[in-house]
Amino acid sequence: MSHKAGFVNIIGNPNVGKSTLMNAFVGERLSIITSKAQTTRHRILGIVNGEDFQMILSDTPGIIKPAYEMQASMMNFVKSAFEDADILIYMVEIGEQDLKDEAFFNKIIHAKIPVLLLLNKIDTSNQDKLEEQVAFWAEKVPNAEIFPISALQNFNVPEVFQRIISLLPESPAYYPKDQLTDKPERFFVNETIREKILLNYSKEIPYAVEIVTEEFFEDESIIRIRSLIMVERETQKGIIIGHKGAALKKVGVDSRADLEKFFGKQIHIELYVKVNKNWRSNVNMLKRFGYNQ
């Protein structure tokens, strides 16, 4: 029996539903999902295995015009998604008109590989608007197959999944068949904590934060975690901690609940906050956090 395997890379503007789609395909919450833009900072692989196929999905940061060094590094992850893709998913939402970077758009319309354009969030629209949008994108990206979907409601998602399988090239598996992702456990601890900060704090706070898990000790019944929340200014540190530590405690409680589901074990988590001025523009710090790879 022949076997198929390939890299399916998902690109698009911020907050169009890329992470929701990948998590729907993989069946695990590998990418964090919030209503705030720039939620995904890294390129995250999710691996879906079947008896005769392996689909390697890549969720990338939303395309933006970089304002500082960290965002430039995030866009490098998007560039790399064009280089190794067997299938490209370009995700847009109802009402969207163009990509925030013309160079990326030119790469999409001149791609030599299959392109699936997913028109997401159709549950927020009506039939006339949907038909208008399909016609618009058919003209704008003539090389793409268009699928109206709702990633959140799982509408048309199984059909897209089957179409991807049909387009995968014949190849042996790239990863062991029991592997879910290419990221280590600490990465998902960091992302879970960062998600809770995105959900619990406003303004610039979530975007000035990076998480480093310094200790991850696992035994049969419990995982003990110690993580650092890094901010850029003393005032941000005070906001993260909150009155009598209440805000930081909530982040810890919420993170523990999600991590216990993810790992299937009891979690003990300890959080502390440290100031590192302008880390988002510090090349050495960004390398430490895995941005400049």
274 is in an annotated binding site: no
252 is in an annotated binding site: no
Number of domains in the chain: 2
Q: What average pLDDT is seen over the chain?
A: 79
Contact 250, 200 (CB under 8 A): yes
Q: In whole angstroms, what is the distance from residue 240 CA to residue 177 CA?
A: 40
110 and 151 co-located in one domain: yes
12 is in an annotated binding site: yes
181 is in an annotated binding site: no
6 is in an annotated binding site: no
60 is in an annotated binding site: yes
16 is in an annotated binding site: yes
In a domain, 64, yes or no: yes
**CATH number of residue 100's parent domain:** 3.40.50.300
Residue where one domain finishes, among candidates 139, 167, 195: 167
19 is in an annotated binding site: yes
159 and 216 co-located in one domain: no
* Dihedral, CA of residue 133, residue 134, residue 138 and residue 139, to nearest 10: -30
Q: In whole angstroms, what is the distance from residue 73 CA to residue 101 CA?
A: 15
> How would residue 290 be classed by pLDDT, with cut points 50, 70 and 90?
low
In a domain, 173, yes or no: no
Which parts of 84-167 fold into alpha helices (H)?
102-109, 127-140, 157-167
Tens of pLDDT, residues 8-41 = 988 877 777 777 887 788 776 555 443 334 444 4
Written as six digits, the tokens of 9 are 């890379």
Tens of pLDDT, residues 250-286 = 999 999 998 888 888 899 999 989 888 877 776 676 6
Residue where one domain finishes, among candidates 120, 137, 167: 167
81 vs 103, which has greater pLDDT? 103
> How would residue 201 be classed by pLDDT, with cut points 50, 70 and 90?
confident
Which residue range(s) make up the domain with 274?
185-289
76 vs 239, which has greater pLDDT? 239
14 is in an annotated binding site: yes
Residue entry with tokens 């929340």 = 229
196 is in an annotated binding site: no
61 is in an annotated binding site: yes
125 is in an annotated binding site: no
